[in-house]
Structure 1
Amino acid sequence: MQDLKPSEIVAELDRYIIGQGKAKRSVAIALRNRWRRRQVPEELRDEIAPKNIILIGPTGVGKTEIARRLSLMTDSPFYKVEASKFTEVGYVGRDVESMVRDLVELTVNAVKQAEQEAVQERARAIAEERMLDLLLPKSGGQEPVKREGGGETALELVAGAGEEHSSTREKLRRMLRDGKLDNRFVDLDLPDRSGPMVEIFSNMGMEEMGINFKDMLGGLLPRNVKRRKIKVPEALKILTQEEAQNLIDMDKVVRTAIAKVEESGIIFLDEIDKIVAKSSGQGPDVSREGVQRDLLPIVEGSSVNTKYGPVRSDHILFIASGAFHAIKPSDLIPELQGRFPIRVELDALGREEFARILTEPRNALVLQYIALLKTDGVDLEFGGDAIARIAAIAEEVNESTENIGARRLHTLMECLLEDVLFDAPCEGMSRVVVDADYVDAKLKALKEDEDLSRYIL
């Protein structure tokens, strides 16, 4: 993050997202300010609150993609949640604090995975020794493992009767590394997951009960293991995973994860307009306003209890988004409005943007389909007139039906290339050229039949 200036953040976003310059500038500044905050004197650091953002625009214009790319770019903990999933405490549904718990859980798993990868070499070495113990037990232990269906023991395979045990072990190690024992089986004790599952349902978060019931019951019940006969490569992989878990310090993992969440976490609140009551009244509108009031302390900054301990939300960056068709951001309760000082309106996408989306980003749709068909030995080519025609049809269908933005392109491309994708594995098809005539032949009749296009396009 130290090396990423706001202009460079925007340039990186431009590689994946077409247009929306205002939104990119706003999120780039917000992201850079998080790094700046960590550089100021400590007495002032805690006073600088994150500048949360509301992205206003119809679906399919890039709101979620902007937030997701930001988290990937900076390796920040990121969690996306639809605000419409929440209900006021007391109603059946998820409570708002669960989004912080979910973010912590995801971050703990990510840090744990990174730590395990860092100790893979050590874990592999320990697992190799355990595997050699299984293949060549010490004297007085169990018999050496035999090949499935009979055959020589590992000891008989590598040495004569008078061979030293240590030199035999080294010979067996070389054979293991060379893959000469890949067809052998070993007996391994694995956790038995076939027992009954106990699930506890509640309209409150499990951590709010003060006890993690799953962990408690897991400690009381005996640990069932089941001996299985597994091939050497798979057994070595299982042993390596076990040793990697034993080598990492979970207390350190949890501390690191909580620090990452508190300092650089990003929560993307989609569909925030769905929790705005259209008029004061009864029924679900009461719960909607209640969700806003429940959200307020989380966004303002409070301590959330998780199974890993309390987590502060003071410096988590909240990015909210919504179409705001029927209501306005000013319809949010005043206290919540004040916690989202930056509001950016995203532009609706038209013909020109659709044409660029199809070809310019690094993950452009056209490039994806070319790569997919290349696996079947088919060269797919798109003419410039075909791209323009697809973009024009996408714009027309969005205007005549529901405007779903760039997501319309996915539907059109699937309809357009359905026959090619089905016939591609057949012999004799090596090159397919898509031009404007091809696009019209496949999509024009479908587009003109308005009733049918509402279902298919």
Structure 2
Amino acid sequence: MSDYRNDDENKELTSQTVADDHKTEDKREDEYEKYCYLCRRPESVAGKLIDMPGNIHICADCMQKTFDNLNQGGFGGMQFLDLSNLSNMGNIDMSRLMGMNDIPDKQKVKKKAAKPKKKEQEMTLATIPAPHKIKAMLDEYVIGQEYAKKVMSVAVYNHYKRVLTDSMDDIEIEKSNMLMVGPTGCGKTYIVKTIAKLLNVPLAITDATTLTEAGYIGDDVESVLSKLLAAADNDVEKAEKGIVFIDEIDKIAKKQNSNSRDVSGESVQQGLLKLLEGADVEVPVGSGSKNAMVPMTTVNTKNILFICGGAFPAIEDIIKARLNKQSSIGFRADLKDKYDKDPNILKKVTNEDLREFGMIPEFLGRLPVLFTLDALDKDMYIKILKEPKNAILKQYKKLLALDEVDLQFDDSAYEAIAEKALEKNTGARALRAIIEEFMLDIMYQIPRDDSIGRVIITGDYVNGKGNPIIELRGVEPMQIEACATKQS
């Protein structure tokens, strides 16, 4: 009897050990990402994988390619789902495939820890900030561009009132899509990002240069909504109240004097018409292109706010040509070069100028709010360096503060940086490159020397004519300043 009991106990122990091994194996598998058996991409890159017998996982792209090959006669002319031809495949040893797919742990990627989702407050009429409050919030981040900030604050406020009330009595409020025109680096994209952040709504920023007519290599116009859907965590209802910013809109202007097919110009403008006005559009979920393996959903664009922006290079010449037509002959006639040195010539832009540039009238008619942004001058550059909440110089001050060093800039340094930025003529983007250049040596040397307590950047140092003023810890500032002056 005791032998039988021992055998039973051994069997129970063995089964318990096997169960524990399975649990350990499952736990280990949960820690690491699954890989596609064919293309070897992890699940975080390839998307949801299809589980097959023998612990094999295949991504949707590879599965689609396999189906395409089968349907094209790549497997002896066998048609997809013709199970009668699978009789010869019954002898496949799945254990061998399992061994082939067994990737060692050192080659696997661990799964990222899931971040706890924040509870988002639903937007209501009571919680929408008034235009003056939206502008006040923008003022903390964006310097200048007073008119543009005012226009956008009113347009966004009216749009979300329209979305939340849907319709009042029998009066239906139309959408207030926007078209902003401004030179490069003046803050077009930055203003849109800031508004979406303040209102906590889904925002999709896309580039018009990648859009082409349907059927050609490139993105279809529906890919704009795919990005918005992804920004809303695939929540269609949330995406239908979002904002889409299409940058570089001037790149889809109608090509002038071209005999080739215009697949990325006028045809893209025509494709965007239904999106701008409001229509039910079939959108691929989790992909920028449509194919048989990608699920589709319908998104209504009636309540989506579209903002288009572009630099429209050389449109100043079109504006000048229109204004000079009005000049006459005589003592009080306007001169031909009257507008050549006008820094705010862009403010005189009209729909007529945009049509001359290559934008079709139907497209412009669906963007009723047209406004321009100012080119940056020296004073605006200095304010951009000093005032915004996340000003670039504040970022450098914080970086050095982590090394317990106080970084300061005198007035001559601000002016020197602004003058260099004006010369580059690329807007606020030039500031980062200029500052990186003269801060390189300082950022390299400071971690080596614990005795440095303060660094003062001067205009001469920015211009490459001197050294920064360095103050050591526990030493009188005036002595170090004098030494630095002698060295320079």
- Please, what TM-score do these two structures have when normalized by structure 1? 0.60
Match for residue 236 of structure 2? 258
Q: Match for 2:182: what amino acid?
A: G
Deviation of the 1:4 alpha carbon: 1.2
Among 402, 411, 416, the alignment partner of 1:389 is 416
Match for residue 359 of structure 2? 332
Aligned partners of 1:272 and 1:51: how far apart in 2? 17
Aligned partners of 1:4 and 1:386: how far apart in 2? 38
Q: Does 2:165 match 1:47?
A: no
Q: Does 2:439 match 1:417?
A: yes
Deviations 1:80-132 (A, max 9, x none): 01101101112111101011012112211xxxxxxxxxxxxxxxxxxxxxxxx
Aligned partners of 1:272 and 1:338: how far apart in 2? 15
- Cα distance 1:39–1:102, how it changes in 2: closer, same or farther (>3 A)? closer
Q: Does 2:228 match 1:270?
A: no
Structure (1/2) with the larger helix percentage: 1
Aligned partners of 2:304 and 2:131: how far apart in 1? 19
Matches within 5 A, 1:331-370: 331-370=358-397
Q: Is the 8 A contact 1:86 1:96 kept in 2?
A: yes
- Tell me the secondary structure at the aligned position of residue 214 of structure 2: coil
Match for residue 141 of structure 2? 16
Aligned partners of 2:271 and 2:191: how far apart in 1? 26
Bigger Cα displacement from structure 2, 384-393 vs 413-422: 384-393
Aligned residue pairs total: 291
- Tell me the secondary structure at the aligned position of residue 441 of structure 1: coil
Q: Is the 8 A contact 2:408 2:457 kept in 1?
A: yes
Give 5+ residue unaligned stretches, structure 1: 109-253, 445-457
Aligned partners of 1:420 and 1:93: how far apart in 2? 45
- Cα distance 1:44–1:271, how it changes in 2: closer, same or farther (>3 A)? farther
- Cα distance 1:82–1:20, how it changes in 2: closer, same or farther (>3 A)? same
Deviation of the 1:437 alpha carbon: 2.0
Deviation of the 1:442 alpha carbon: 6.1
Aligned partners of 1:56 and 1:38: how far apart in 2? 26
Match for residue 299 of structure 1? 276
Match for residue 102 of structure 1? 227
Q: Match for 2:247: what amino acid?
A: D
Bigger Cα displacement from structure 2, 45-54 vs 314-323: 45-54
Deviation of the 1:325 alpha carbon: 1.5
Deviation of the 1:34 alpha carbon: 2.2
- Cα distance 1:343–1:368, how it changes in 2: closer, same or farther (>3 A)? same
Match for residue 68 of structure 1? 193
Aligned partners of 2:466 and 2:205: how far apart in 1? 34
Match for residue 155 of structure 1? none
Match for residue 319 of structure 1? 307
Q: Is the 8 A contact 2:186 2:376 kept in 1?
A: yes
Deviations 1:353-374 (A, max 9, x none): 0000000000011100000111
Match for residue 428 of structure 2? 406
- Tell me the secondary structure at the aligned position of residue 213 of structure 2: coil
Q: Which is bigger in relative contact order (C-alpha 8 A, separation at least 6)?
A: 1
Deviation of the 1:9 alpha carbon: 0.7
Deviation of the 1:309 alpha carbon: 2.3
Matches within 5 A, 1:50-199: 50-108=175-233
Aligned partners of 1:280 and 1:29: how far apart in 2? 40
Q: Is the 8 A contact 1:30 1:50 kept in 2?
A: no
Match for residue 99 of structure 2? none
Q: Match for 2:360: what amino acid?
A: I
Identity percentage over the alignment? 39
Deviations 1:211-258 (A, max 9, x none): xxxxxxxxxxxxxxxxxxxxxxxxxxxxxxxxxxxxxxxxxxx5xx22
Deviation of the 1:386 alpha carbon: 1.1
Aligned partners of 2:263 and 2:413: how far apart in 1? 51
Deviations 1:172-205 (A, max 9, x none): xxxxxxxxxxxxxxxxxxxxxxxxxxxxxxxxxx
Aligned partners of 2:395 and 2:168: how far apart in 1? 50
Match for residue 112 of structure 1? none
Task: Say which one has the larger Rg.
Answer: 2
Q: Is the 8 A contact 1:415 1:443 kept in 2?
A: no
